[in-house]
Structure 1
Amino acid sequence: MAGSGGVGGADGIGGADGAGSAGRAGRTGGVGRVSSAAGVVVGVDIGTSVTKAVAFDRDGRALHTASRRSTLLRGPGGVVEQELDEVLDSVAAVVREVAGALPGPPAALALTGQGDGLWLRDADGRPVRRMISWMDGRAADIVEEWRADKTVDTVFAHTGSGLFPGCHAPLLAWLRRHEPQALERASVAGYCVDAVAQRLTGTVAVDASDATLPFLDPATRAYRPEALAACGVADAARLLPEPAAPHTVLALDEEGARMLGLPAGLPLTAGPYDLPACAIGSGVREVGDGLLTLGTTLACQVLTDDTDTAGAAEPAGMWLCTPERGRWLRAMPAMVGTAGVDWALGLVGAGTGDLEALLAGSPAGARGVTALPFLSEAGERAPFVAPGARARFEGMSLGHGRADLVRAMCEAVGYAARHCLEAAGLSRALAACGGGARSPELVRTFAGILGRPVRVPLEPEVGAKGAAIVARAALGDPVDGERWHAGHRIVEPAADDRELYERGYADYRARVAEARPGWDRAAAGTAAAAAG
């Protein structure tokens, strides 16, 4: 970013622009010595299936870490839900464990976590039904209807957000058709991070990054009534909280303090959600820099200084607001990342511990075996939207082994990443994070497919780190970006694989283009059957 002082500096995307407060907000003055808990911020990343907490000192060093799993409740028709109280229990467990290892209370808590989905609550923050995950596919037929009648294009023109089954718009429309009583009981249609923050602070404060998809104009940070009306959910506007000002600071209320075992009044920040938090924590600082998150999803982001939708090839992805006005992350979050790799490993009777050996056991190109990685029940959402997208293997024979199948799936995910990053406008440095980034062979494969070096932060919990960076800026103590992002390794692409992967990528794009009409016909048939 031109003229940037770095993340956490005056001009960084974690910087102190627009600092504000909400609810029973409070600000702190200085922080104590590094050896004192008063100099520590605990970042909490509320993931889809795992909640993690990390205590960071003023130099960005991770002092203590804790994690707890939470449950995804799957049902027929693509249903994927969570219980809010179980998610809250996971937050309480990790915060208590990490804070208990400190000599005193931390200076602040910094929340981030999964985005999208639909977390409906009443005025007190209690659930009116189970929380609907971003992975949910029940509204796929509605998205297909909207693609056919150009509703998707209309919304994209107003907000720059593509629509997919697990976002607010189709989920609100689905509930209006099938569970109108849930909408009648609800006071807030929010997301994971603000749902947890409300129960801890008594305040509804939705970060603008979460609110981006699908009704927010990212340039003005205001909801577009035209987008709500196009989706037939204009009456749901009452459920959408106004986005909080950048760097809003909340405070634990008595209930939140009891839940976490911390003092009431402790400062708490809620957002940005995990995609921008990971970008900030990974050191994305200049316009054109990108981040590849090798997690359950394949989240690709590039920092930009404009929100022009005219140049978009398709109505997909979104422009995410960052803590700095005038800077956005062009996000292309594909549905399947390491989940596809895990599926392929399970298919051949292997586990994650076998990945390195299996990748080493099959050469680049997987000896002619190819794959398409679209394993999500909700299809694909970036860099194109196709609710009917499905995976496939091709080119197999009796001469191929399980290593070839695993490598073919890993390469397919890598090609999907390149497709997303090209659509997002990557032009400068690329960082990678997430569980998959811990595999040297997998990152080396991705570097070869992308044809560029990949920087991998040594701190694995970059989402929690990004949240902590934003919290420090909000508290008036911005971090030194050079120190906080100093630890990393560089993975270079193998020169010998360049031509092979160029041909492989061209073949991947051709196979996707060939498959899409069939996916669309299948999805249209499903939508018609559901409507009938």
Structure 2
Amino acid sequence: MIVGVDIGTSVTKAQLISRDGRTTPAHEARSTVYTLPGHRVEQDLDDVVGTVETVVRAALADAAQLADEPVEALALTGQGDGLWLRDASGAPVGRALSWMDGRAADRLDRWTADGTLRALHRRTGVGLFPGSAAPLLAHLAEHEPERLEAAEVAGYCVDAVVQRLTGAVTVDVSDASQPFLDVATRTYDETALELCGLSAHRRLLPDPAPSGTLHRLLPDAARRLGLPAGLPVSAGPFDIPACAFGSGVAEPGEGNLIIGTTLAAQVLDTEPRPALAEDPAGMVLATPYEGRFLRVMPAMIGTAGLDWLLKLLDVKIEALDALLVQSPPGAAGVTALPFLSTSGERAPFVDPRARGRFDGLSPLAGRADLVRALCEAVAYSARHCMETLGVTSTVTACGGGARSGEWARIFAGVLGGDLEVCDDAVGIRGAAHVAWRSLGTPVDPGAWRARLRTVTAERGLIDHYAEGYAAYRQALDTAREGWSTR
């Protein structure tokens, strides 16, 4: 079996998974997210490593549930983007800058105005947002150059944890894809660095690890985790591609929708071509599998906005399905734009000023209508992302939002086709999938796909939501004109 760990933004999870797909319950530990003035969002690496140690030890206590199979590897996945600076020993150089950090929004404005964003997108297929590594590096180079001078590595969450556990200075190719990698050659594009004015800091970027690379647990780290020293450690891919492979995506054209804290739509391709977006948005990721690439639209919206609304309305998440049933399709005329992140939006368009709103309100509108309107709006955004990506085949769905039966029905109706939903911790499944391949004993992705359940798209909802989607796109276009002059 494999110990799988998913290092989320605020929650780290771990569970055991066997080769036949059986899993033990997931154990969780919360890490601290510091939200500070100036749109700064930071995390402490020591705190995050501590959560990994806690959940791994808890997961290992469940080994008897899988007939005491031997542990073959530790497989890590986790949040992407942001900027995790370390020194040569792996100690943090200041707190990590989260992917939710907005301090570099002004840098993004300048790069938008002078054409840097479009030029970078043409070279690498990556669209930037304030929490991307490039604008964060540029911001520090301008405002805190001493931090970059003190650092030896500029990386991401997963490789920061890997360095602490194994001593390896490395980065997974999926994380490295953002934003300086030529994903076809898996080498850094020096022109991309020049476009961002960051050539002088190339030394901070570790070269991507070759596919199949395994690291080894250091004795001290192994003791803290409760694992044997020298155990193989698989690092990555980060959470979005891990969810694709954990859901069973295996053939070009197949899509995956993650309905989590944020929303991510992705499609597997044999070519490293960017999505045909009107804005330089989204990303193209190299994967652990040669000749396979993921085109991704990682939106900032998702269940976080729904959590905000439910809290505002004093409604528990357990009541979501009941509320959705109380309001008809179309939410009795109430509509929404779901852009409730303080960082704006990053896919399928980029605008740090994007903000949410409700329309069609009257004294007749109730809590159920507000909730359904927001859930429908998130589904419309998912369709916008999927259309931009050009998904042509089966779509799998995962994440907390997909576990709601009524919300999954909305997504199926808006997308116009059946959804194959996976209720497991698919990020961990994807990381374990990659780990077994690296060990030389790959599992059959088709066998794992059989664990999905189908949410049928209903003809009446498909027709209704086709009209709703057209109205959503028109409202979005109008709103974007207003944001541009704010």
Give the C-alpha shift of residue 354 in structure 1: 1.3
**Shift in Å at residue 289 of structure 1?**
0.6
Contact 2:414 2:466 in 1 (8 A): yes
Corresponding position of 1:514: 478
Please name the residue that 1:93 is paired with: 54
Is the counterpart of residue 409 in structure 1 residue 370 in structure 2? no
Show the counterpart of 1:467.
Answer: 431
Partner of 2:12: 51
Match of 1:61 among 15, 19, 22: 22
Whether the 8 Å contact between 2:184 and 2:272 is mirrored in structure 1 is: yes
Match of 2:314 in 1: 349
Aligned pair partner of 1:499 in 463, 482, 485: 463
Aligned residues of 2:3 and 2:74 also touching (Cα < 8 A): yes
- Say if 2:447 is the partner of 1:483: yes
The answer as to whether partners of 2:275 and 2:389 remain within 8 angstroms in 1 is no
Q: Residue deviations 1:14-51, cap 9 Å, x none?
A: xxxxxxxxxxxxxxxxxxxxxxxxxx111111011111
- The one-letter amino acid paired with 1:472 is W
Question: Matches of 2:205 and 2:220 in 1, distance apart?
Answer: 24
1:143 aligns with 2:104: no
Give the whole-Å Cα distance in 2 for the aligned partners of 1:493 and 1:344: 26
Q: State the 1:104 CA deviation.
A: 7.4
1:184 maps to: 149
Matches of 1:358 and 1:226 in 2, distance apart?
A: 52
Q: Does 1:217 align with 2:217?
A: no
TM-score (norm 2): 0.97
Q: Which amino acid aligns with 1:384?
A: F
Q: How does 1:404-443 map to 2 (within 5 A)?
A: 404-443=369-408
Report the counterpart of residue 300 of structure 2 in structure 1: 335
Residue aligned with 1:63, SS:
coil
Residue aligning to 2:282: 317
Aligned amino acid, residue 178 of structure 2: L
Aligned residues: 482
State the 1:493 CA deviation: 1.6
Q: Does 1:70 align with 2:34?
A: no
Say which SS state the counterpart of residue 92 (structure 1) adopts: helix
Match in the other structure for 2:99: 134
How far does residue 64 in structure 1 lie from its aligned partner after superposition?
A: 4.4
Give the residue type in structure 2 aligned to 1:217.
D
- Measured against aligned partners, the alpha-carbon deviations of 1:148-167 in whole angstroms (never above 9, x if no partner) come to 11110111111110010001
Alpha-carbon distance in 2 for matches of 1:149, 1:128: 31
Shift of 1:312: 4.0
The alignment partner of 1:77 has SS state of coil
Of 224, 227, 233 in structure 2, the residue corresponding to residue 268 of structure 1 is 233
Q: How far is the alpha carbon of 1:277 from its aligned partner?
A: 0.6
Structure 1 residue 232, shift from structure 2 partner:
1.4
Question: For 1:84 and 1:290, how far apart are their aligned partners in 2?
Answer: 33
How far apart are 1:115 and its partner, in Å? 0.3
CA distance in 1, matches of 2:354, 2:476: 9
- 2:346 equivalent in structure 1: 381
Assess, with a 3 A threshold, how the Cα gap between structure 1 residues 101 and 308 changes in structure 2: closer, same or farther: closer
TM superposition shift of 1:177: 1.7
1:364 to 329, 332, 339: 329
Shift of 1:141: 1.4
Aligned-pair Cα RMSD in Å: 1.2
Shift, 1:258, TM fit? 2.3
Where does the alignment leave 5 or more consecutive residues of structure 1 unmatched? Answer: 1-39, 523-532
Q: In the alignment, what sits opposite 1:446?
A: 411
Match of 1:207? 172
Alignment partners' CA distance in 2, 1:194 and 1:74 = 23
Cα offset for 1:311? 4.0
CA distance in 1, matches of 2:251, 2:311: 39
Per-residue deviation, residues 200-236 of structure 1 (Å, max 9, x unmatched): 0000120000011111111111111111111112111
Which residue identity lines up with residue 463 of structure 2 in the other structure?
A: E
Residue 388 of structure 1 and its aligned partner are, at CA, apart by: 0.7
Q: Percent of aligned positions with the same letter in both sequences?
A: 57
Name 1:288's counterpart in structure 2.
253
Counterpart of 1:221, as a letter, is R
Q: Distance in 2 between matches of 1:104 and 1:496?
A: 49
Cα offset, 1:284, TM superposition: 0.7
- CA distance change for structure 1 residues 397 and 310 in 2, over 3 Å: closer, same or farther? closer
How much does 1:105 deviate?
Answer: 5.7
Name structure 2 gaps, 5 residues minimum.
none
CA distance in 2 between counterparts of 1:310 and 1:437 reads 24
